[in-house]
Amino acid sequence: MARIRTIKPEFFTSDDICALSPLARLLYIGLWCEADREGRLVWTPRVFKRRYLPDDACEGEAVAAELVERGLVVPYGDGYAWIPTLARHQLLNPRESASRLPAPDGDASPRLNDASARVDESAPMGKEGEGNGKGKEGEGGSDDAPSRVVSRPARRIAHALPEGWQPDAADLAWLATARPDLSVEAVAAETERFRNHAAATGRTAQRWGPYWRNWITRAHASKANASATATKAAPAGASTVDRDSDQQWRARLRSYRPGGFWLEGDWGPRPESERSRVPEPILADWREATG
């Protein structure tokens, strides 16, 4: 049963969300509607694909795996999953039924308990997010009304990029899958540009890894634009430095499977598409390897 949920403006600039692909962000929002008031749901990625990404060329299990990797969704038990922060960020309707799904094994997280405690189940609903509409936020409507105190987890403090910052192991694991076409030298050069840009703009962040990933994702796009400009100005038959090489295409296809990660904005339509830009001999080898 789908539920009505709300979304906060800061969702779109959250570090964890910025690190996801656009389709994973959309699926994450869709899963809020699937989850009950405790954040529990039946874990069926293929059903979620048909329900929330019906016309998108992707594999539901691959998109869902992004959410699991980031810890935004936690599978458990026999076909269940849990969204740990759902109740903390949603103004739950007190009339919504209690969860009928089993709790995650060993779940002792205070976040869900605190979040569910902020809604007074016996109080009539006033405006959204209020109990009886009286008193200030966090106070009861009368002297004898129980106070509703919500304890919030400590928030990370935004800070400038540390001198000599380097991507961590998780960032490098992402790099191996997302950008196999970039050489070690290219990644080092882009990371240096990233550090210089952060220092020049004075930007701060709670976690710098997601911003670095976005920078690396866009790195090839800027080179592709320069390549296109150079191609127009170059004599017929002249080669350009930044033109995609056969080696780059083979690196992109090495671990790719239909519906998997593919930078369509930079690399063009997916290999399984009739409009793919992958050179035909390389495409034929890939089709043979994937059956």
Ramachandran class of 133: left when φ > 0, alpha when ψ lies in -120 to 50, beta otherwise: left
pLDDT in tens, the chain (291 residues): 578 888 888 888 888 888 899 999 999 999 999 999 889 999 999 999 999 998 888 888 999 999 998 889 999 988 999 998 887 778 777 788 888 899 887 553 433 333 333 333 333 333 333 444 443 333 334 344 344 444 444 556 778 899 889 999 888 888 887 788 888 888 998 998 898 888 888 878 878 888 888 888 777 644 444 444 444 444 444 333 335 678 788 888 887 888 887 777 677 888 888 888 899 999 889 888 887
Report CA Rg, the chain: 24
Q: What are the phi and psi torsion angles at 41 (to 5°)?
A: -155, 165
* Dist. CA 205–CA 15, nearest whole Å: 8
Q: Which of 33, 30, 17 is nearest to 60 (CA)?
A: 30
